[in-house]
């Protein structure tokens, strides 16, 4: 959520950011709603003072034995007007809040302009595309031959967009989760958290999933609970409605399953593990002082990259363009892995700075050097998402005999196992 005072003072700045995102939206209706809200509050406060003054006069007249009926009538009339204005204030407040929640974060000046994925800027590429002396297969074909996936039965019991992992795929996924958590806690300074896999509406609103992305979220019927789309939600809301007493920066990480409807998703890139409605992910979240947040963004990106480097995978880093930057983010980097069996790049991590956008929505503050509460800056990054990481490991590690070479970094988590074979 943005600062309405800043919007009033410089509407052109916010309209320019909305235009850069390619949105048919301006802040003027919000400014008018805010003005109306403030006028009603001023009128309400004036009437409340008049009623208090009249009540004092009644008290004085009663002590002196005077006639108080006229004053009592005036107080009753003021009470009726105040009741009406309080309802008007509530409606005006709701209208302003609805308009404010619909406005995305203001983009950082360094975000490149663009409207589509092709406008994202490739910052760097690490490693080389693996060369094969045979035609590399897709992970779904490899998984079928190795007997480690079962997509048809997952679809039978649940529907499209779900997967069943079997045998070595399960072991590999558990190993990757443990490996990533160990790296983030031991090498990057994060504190591991185990959180609920569901959150309430207020928490989902705090991080920006609601109301904007309601169609992509899974709601638990008859309860104020939602399945989380990422551990970003519970990790960030850990400090909701609090003034943080711990010293900043604070780094939190956690593993959770994630649930996303992905409304409208279809096509080749949804096949196999590429895009699932339920998937596992290790997430990183930071709470930092505003002055350091862009340095923290760069170090968060390094933490995510470190996972990929240790696994020996070919990847590239992109700065997302304005039209591809998420609703709550001021600036985002994506990390994409090369999948040779599909001849495609697959996003495996997004690393974002939200500045104080989430902190305002979730009311997360800290005390600055002057002792006054200030909104923190929050950041988050996938550290990393499991399905596409599995895809890259399988498709890059495939051998001519159909087996899969396991990256050295995670072999200790698999009892020294070096490859996945059909006979395992």
pLDDT tens digits along 364-373: 999 988 889 9
Per domain, the residue ranges of the chain are 4-101, 117-420
Rounded to whole angstroms, how far apart are CA atoms 34 and 96? 6
CATH number of the domain located at residue range(s) 117-420 in this protein:
3.30.930.10
Rounded to whole angstroms, how far apart are CA atoms 268 and 386? 19
Residue 329 has pLDDT above 70, yes or no: yes
Q: What is the pLDDT of residues 293-308, one digit of tens each?
A: 999 999 999 999 999 9
Residue 186 has pLDDT above 60, yes or no: yes
Residue 266 has pLDDT above 60, yes or no: no
User: Do the domains 4-101 and 117-420 sit in the same CATH topology, yes or no?
Assistant: no
Residue 57 has pLDDT above 80, yes or no: no
Rounded to whole angstroms, how far apart are CA atoms 250 and 365? 13
The structure tokens 């048809």 sit at 152
The CA distances from residue 36 to 9, 29, 43, 129, 297, in Å, are 16, 11, 11, 59, 38
Rounded to whole angstroms, how far apart are CA atoms 252 and 168? 29
Q: What is the pLDDT of residues 273-295, one digit of tens each?
A: 999 999 999 999 999 999 999 99
Of 409, 392, 346, which Cα lies nearest the Cα of 142? 392
CATH of 4-101, one of 3.20.20.70, 1.10.287.40, 1.25.40.80, 1.10.1370.20: 1.10.287.40
Q: What is the pLDDT of residues 13-28, one digit of tens each?
A: 999 999 999 999 999 9
Q: What is the pLDDT of residues 89-107, one digit of tens each?
A: 999 999 999 999 999 999 9
pLDDT value of residue 50: 87
pLDDT value of residue 371: 87
Q: 3-state class of 253 per DSSP?
A: strand
Q: What is the mean pLDDT of residues 155-177?
A: 96
Residue 349 has pLDDT above 60, yes or no: yes
Residues 6+ apart with CB under 8 A from 276: 161, 162, 163, 387
Q: What is the mean pLDDT of the chain?
A: 94
Model confidence at 269, in pLDDT bands (50, 70, 90)?
A: confident
pLDDT value of residue 241: 98
pLDDT value of residue 58: 76
Q: What is the mean pLDDT of residues 301-330?
A: 98
Q: What is the pLDDT of residues 104-147, one digit of tens each?
A: 999 999 999 999 999 999 999 999 999 999 999 999 999 999 99
Residue 66 has pLDDT above 90, yes or no: no
- Alpha-carbon Rg for the chain, nearest whole angstrom, is 27
Task: Provide the edge-to-edge strand list for the sheet that holds 373-375.
Answer: 242-244, 364-367, 373-375
Strand partners, 226: 199, 219
Rounded to whole angstroms, how far apart are CA atoms 121 and 241? 37
Task: Compute, in degrees rounded to 10, the torsion defined by CA atoms 85, 90, 96, 99.
Answer: -140
Residue 424 has pLDDT above 70, yes or no: no
Model confidence at 53, in pLDDT bands (50, 70, 90)?
A: confident
Residue 236 has pLDDT above 70, yes or no: yes
Residue 394 has pLDDT above 90, yes or no: yes
pLDDT value of residue 279: 97
């Amino acid at each position: 959520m943005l600062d309405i005072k800043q919007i009033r003072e410089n509407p052109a700045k916010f309209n320019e950011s909305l235009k850069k995102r390619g949105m048919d939206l301006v802040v003027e209706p919000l400014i008018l709603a805010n003005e109306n809200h403030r006028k009603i509050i001023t009128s309400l406060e004036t009437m409340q003072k008049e009623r208090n003054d009249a009540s004092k006069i009644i008290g004085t007249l009663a002590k002196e034995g005077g006639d108080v009926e006229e004053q009592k009538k005036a107080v009753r009339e003021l009470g009726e007007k105040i009741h009406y204005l309080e309802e008007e204030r509530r409606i005006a407040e709701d209208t302003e809040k609805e308009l404010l929640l619909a406005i995305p974060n203001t983009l950082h000046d360094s975000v490149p302009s663009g409207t589509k994925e092709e406008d994202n800027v490739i910052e760097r590429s690490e490693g080389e595309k693996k060369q094969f002396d045979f035609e590399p297969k897709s992970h779904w074909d490899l998984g079928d031959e190795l007997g480690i996936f079962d997509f048809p039965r997952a679809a039978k019991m649940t529907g499209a967009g779900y997967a069943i992992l079997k045998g070595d795929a399960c072991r590999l996924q558990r190993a990757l989760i443990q490996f990533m958590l160990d790296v983030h806690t031991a090498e990057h300074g994060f504190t591991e958290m185990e959180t609920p896999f569901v959150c309430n509406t207020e928490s989902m609103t705090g991080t920006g999933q609601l109301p904007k992305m309601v169609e992509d979220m899974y709601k638990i019927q008859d309860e104020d609970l939602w399945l989380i789309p990422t551990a970003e939600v519970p990790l960030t809301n850990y400090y909701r409605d609090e003034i943080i007493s711990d010293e900043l920066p604070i780094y939190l990480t956690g593993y959770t399953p994630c649930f996303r409807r992905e409304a409208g998703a279809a096509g080749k890139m949804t096949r196999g593990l590429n895009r699932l409605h339920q998937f596992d992910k290790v997430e990183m979240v930071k709470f930092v002082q505003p002055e350091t947040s862009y340095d923290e963004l760069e170090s968060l990106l390094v933490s995510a990259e470190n996972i990929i480097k240790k696994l020996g995978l070919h990847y590239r880093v992109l700065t997302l363009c304005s039209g591809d930057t998420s609703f709550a983010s001021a600036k985002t980097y994506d990390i994409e892995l090369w999948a040779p069996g599909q001849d495609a790049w697959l996003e495996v991590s997004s690393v974002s700075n939200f500045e104080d956008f989430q902190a305002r929505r979730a009311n997360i503050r800290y005390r600055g050097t002057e002792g006054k509460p200030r909104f923190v800056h929050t950041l988050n990054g996938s550290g990393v998402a499991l399905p596409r990481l599995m895809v890259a490991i399988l498709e890059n590690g495939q051998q001519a005999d159909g087996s899969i070479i396991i990256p050295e970094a995670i072999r200790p988590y698999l009892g020294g196992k070096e490859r996945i074979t059909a006979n395992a």
